[in-house]
Amino acid sequence: MKMAVERNGAEKDDAAGHIRCMMSRRKFLMTGGVAALSVSTISLSLFPGGTVQAEVVEYPRKRIARLSQLKNDVPVDFNYPDDAPGSSAMLVKMGGIRAGGGIGPQEDVVAFSYLCTHQGGALEGLYRVVGDHRVLGQCPMHLSTFDLTRHGIVVSGQAYESLPQILLELDGDDIHAVGIMGLLYGRHRNVM
Ligand code: FES
C-alpha cells in the first residue's frame, strides 16, 4: 500500500518520528497515488506487523490577510493551496465566537473551502450569523450547511463530510494559510 502525506515545509525535519495515521493541525494523511511533488518517503506502522510507505509533500505557506484589518463577520476570499479549480476559500473573524482551529486572541478567526463536500456546490456569499452560531450554507444545490465553529461539520443537508478547514498560523499581524484538514472537493489530493 502506498500513501501520501501532505504537510507544511517547516515540519520537514521532524516528520518521520511524529507522523501518525490521523489528522493533526498541519498534517493530512490520505491514500492515493504517487505524488509528483513528494519530497521524501517514510515508513508508517498502521497495524501490528504491517507497514506502508508514505510519500511526503509540502503545503505552501501563504499570507492571506492581516488580523488588524479583519471586520467581524465579513469574509475575505482567497485561494489555497493554489489558484486551480477547487481552491476557492474564505477567511472570517467570527465576532468573538471561539472556534475549533481558530486563531487570534479570541480564537475566532477560521478559514474554510468554498466548495460543498457533497457535489461541489458553491458556498460563496452564504456565510451566516445566527445568534452565537456561525455557519456556511445552505448550499444552493441540496441545502447542506456547515458549522464553522466546529471544524466545518455538517449540520443539515445532503453532505456527509465536513467542510475542509484551511489551517492558519498567526505571525505578528499576518495570517498565513499553512495546510488543509480534509480533502478539497474534486481533487484526489489537495496539493497537485
Ligand atoms: S452540492 Fe452541496 S448539498 Fe449537494
Question: 115 with 67, same domain?
Answer: yes
The closest of 187, 167, 154 to 30, measured between CA atoms, is: 187
Determine the Cα–Cα distance for residues 105 and 120; give it in Å rounded to an integer: 33
pLDDT at 14 > cutoff 50: no
Question: 27 with 103, same domain?
Answer: no
Provide the whole-model pTM: 0.79
Question: 38 with 53, same domain?
Answer: yes
Question: 54 with 76, same domain?
Answer: no
Question: 47 with 23, same domain?
Answer: yes
Mutating to test ligand 1, I would choose from 113, 114, 115, 118 the residue with most ligand atoms within 8 A of its C-beta, which is 118
Boundaries of domain holding 26: 2-59
Mutating to test ligand 1, I would choose from 115, 144, 163, 184 the residue with most ligand atoms within 8 A of its C-beta, which is 144
Count of the separate structural domains present in the chain: 2
Determine the Cα–Cα distance for residues 188 and 33; give it in Å rounded to an integer: 9
Question: 25 with 70, same domain?
Answer: no
Q: What separation in Å is there between the alpha carbon of 54 and the centre of ligand 1?
A: 32
Q: What separation in Å is there between the alpha carbon of 123 and the centre of ligand 1?
A: 9
The closest of 163, 158, 69 to 111, measured between CA atoms, is: 163
Q: Is the CB of 94 under 6 A from ligand 1?
A: no
32 within 8 A of 55, measured Cβ to Cβ: no
Last residue of a domain, one of 32, 59, 86: 59
- Among residues of the chain, what percentage have pLDDT more than 90? 69
Q: What is the pLDDT of residues 137-168, one digit of tens each?
A: 999 999 999 999 999 999 999 999 999 999 99
